[in-house]
Structure 1
Amino acid sequence: MERFEKYEWTIDSDHAGERIDKFLVEQFAEWSRSQIQQWIKEGHVTVNEKEVKANYKVNEEDEIVVKIPPQKDLEIEPENIPLDIVYQDQDVVVINKPRGLVVHPAPGHYSGTLVNALLYHIKDLSGINGVLRPGIVHRIDKDTSGLIMVAKNDLAHESLARQLKDHIVHRVYVALVHGNIPHDLGTVDAPIGRDPKDRKKMAVVHKNSKHAVTHFIVKERFEGYTLIECKLETGRTHQIRVHMQYIGHPLVGDPLYGPKRTLNIDGQALHAKVLGFEHPRTGEYLEFDSELPEDMDRLLEQLRTKH
């Protein structure tokens, strides 16, 4: 039996009146509008359990279901890519992901990802997210390092996904940003959606956006830079990167949101340092802490020497 990847949304007032193909393009960064229109044509998209056309305008409270058909003859191969496994039991794996490693395969990019490595190192992974994302409950960007949790079965996957949705998961990131933040702590409460001028980017926008809150504490100040600790209240795509750019302090090394000339680091200076969640089977609270990667450590030492 073919297994479809299933996604569901309930339309809120911000999206009411949008064409359904436009709404879905905003949700799936990796898929083109023409691909989404093809799914609609083939009946893989329903609104309130009925098929619609691509020009259908969604209404508030509409129930949208998308079932992405499996790619024909697509097999994601296990690859012997080294993994830093911080914790593992019968339900959950916690990985310390290096910078530069993509979390899951996407169209045109089916190898060299965390999923390929997981298939090699881990015997069982949940199947809820289909062939492209086995075990993947959440993701961190390719050029962000740090802790990510992976589900080994569907029970674990459903529990961890629910905790993420209910904002129970404790996540703390460390970031090095441009400029000196004068106050010792702050909160950025600004909605994030796809950048209307560039769909590869996210931005603080008030239409077609989602509520997003980032709390930060200043840990150390340098000449022209600030080291901060960020706690996520919500988990939007590129959230910390977008929020820090929005307040005028983009991340060092950020290829999308930062200045071109920056310190010598390959990708943004952002590390998912702390991850805490309730164990899906026992209910016990587990928390993990990881060291900063070597390149971030080296940058900080250089800045301290200059200070």
Structure 2
Amino acid sequence: MVAFGEPWPEFNDGIYYCDRLRASDAGKTLIEFYSRKYENSAPLHGWLQRIHNKQITIDGCVVTDSDTILRESAELVYHRLPWKEPDAPYVLEILYEDNDVIALNKPSGLQVLPGGLFQQRTVLTQLQRHACNLNTLGCQEPHPVPVHRLGRGTSGILLCAKTKFAKSRLAAYFADGTSIVGVCRKNDPLLKATRNIKKLYRALASGIITEDEVVIDQPIGLVKYPGVANGLYVASPSGKPALSKLVVLERNMLSNSTLVQVEIHSGRPHQIRIHLSFIGHPLIGDPLYSFNGQPKCSGHEFVDQSYAQDGGYKRPENPVPGDCGYHLHAHRVAFTHPVTNEVVEITAPLPSILQTLEESKGNEGL
């Protein structure tokens, strides 16, 4: 196994957020600008605290007067103070690599891109550190980037591009679920459909799914949800089309669970979690989605409205999408190589809990 990763420092470096004022913002006070534009980041008192803490500059000068009048084209910079991010794994296994593409085996608990409390403890950070350390990747760019996302609690194959061309081609594959894969192998479920990329997941669903195969085409849309600034993805009749094909691999009457293989024909956020929940079989251990593709909690009464040392909201008490605990693994991927046009197949080893009884017995003999 080829792997890389550096241990996380105790604290990150903080973040600098820059705004160039538009004409429509001219004449506003400093506190009006921040408390209205970034109300999801902190309450009014939190922004006052940040200003008084000398965390905001205008054109390079620290400003502590919250009633300072802003002028057009002024440059505002807010410095979010360094903080200790939640624990996260840091070692990444390389499943495939060439001059254009690198595929990683992402562990559960590691976020792909910066967001929320995780700004440094991400796949992107480790990937770019790795590229800089080697400095001999043999590609056009020194900083490879993921071309899609996996939920923080989801493990398995994460495709990353090492050139701008590969990134654009792979991103197009993910966006277009109807392109031709180029090769179809008889009786291989991964290569039956005509698309440039196919993904098979393993998941552990609650309850006993009686049908051997299920097609789920429930649309997925956004709703307002406390603690999630841009809203939460849920099953919604007015949402965007989403298609998942589920095959039952094994039923366990004793644990009242079903091991399933899921092929997704669209890449909506949290699609598998939502679709399994929608048909009444949410993933075992999923802290967020319950039944009908909806969250377990809703309503602002679940939000802790107090603010932290840096003035921002504390973590909401209700579950949020990044919470872990469920069992979902991106097991197999087949895609048309962005440069050679050859079909590349990648398999990520299965966690023991997502193996069938036969697979488990086979591994015991290794």
What TM-score range do you get, normalising by the shorter chain? 0.5 to 0.7
Choose from 342, 345, 348 the match for 1:290. 348
RMSD value, Cα: 3.6
What is the SS of the residue equivalent to 1:150? strand
CA distance in 2, matches of 1:184, 1:34: 50
What is the SS of the residue equivalent to 1:280? coil
Contact 2:216 2:275 survives alignment (8 Å): yes
> Which residue of structure 2 aligns with residue 57 of structure 1?
none
> Which residue of structure 2 aligns with residue 87 of structure 1?
96
Cα distance change on mapping 1:98 and 1:298 into 2, 3 Å? farther
TM-superposed CA distance for 1:202, in Å, is 1.7
Which amino acid in 2 is paired with 1:211? P
Choose from 232, 250, 267 the match for 2:282. 250
Contact 2:259 2:356 survives alignment (8 Å): no
CA distance in 1, matches of 2:162, 2:258: 38
Does structure 1 residue 120 correspond to structure 2 residue 129?
Answer: yes
What is the SS of the residue equivalent to 1:210? coil
TM-superposed CA distance for 1:122, in Å, is 2.4
Pairing of 1:153-172 with structure 2 (within 5 A): 153-167=163-177, 168-172=196-200
> Which residue of structure 2 aligns with residue 34 of structure 1?
37
Runs (5+) with no aligned partner, structure 1:
5-31, 38-68, 75-79, 261-265, 302-307
Pairing of 1:174-253 with structure 2 (within 5 A): 174-196=202-224, 199=228, 201-207=232-238, 209-223=239-253, 224-253=256-285
TM-score, length of structure 2 as denominator length: 0.55
CA distance in 2, matches of 1:92, 1:291: 19
Which amino acid in 1 is paired with 2:345? E
Contact 1:148 1:275 survives alignment (8 Å): no
Contact 1:277 1:286 survives alignment (8 Å): yes
Q: How many residues align?
A: 227
Q: In terms of Rg, which structure is larger?
A: 2
What is the SS of the residue equivalent to 2:169? helix
Show CA shifts across 1:247-268 (max 9, x none): 10000111111499xxxxx621
What is the SS of the residue equivalent to 1:201? strand
Runs (5+) with no aligned partner, structure 2:
1-17, 19-34, 41-74, 81-88, 178-195, 297-323, 361-366
What is the SS of the residue equivalent to 1:96? strand
CA distance in 2, matches of 1:270, 1:216: 13
What is the SS of the residue equivalent to 2:273? helix
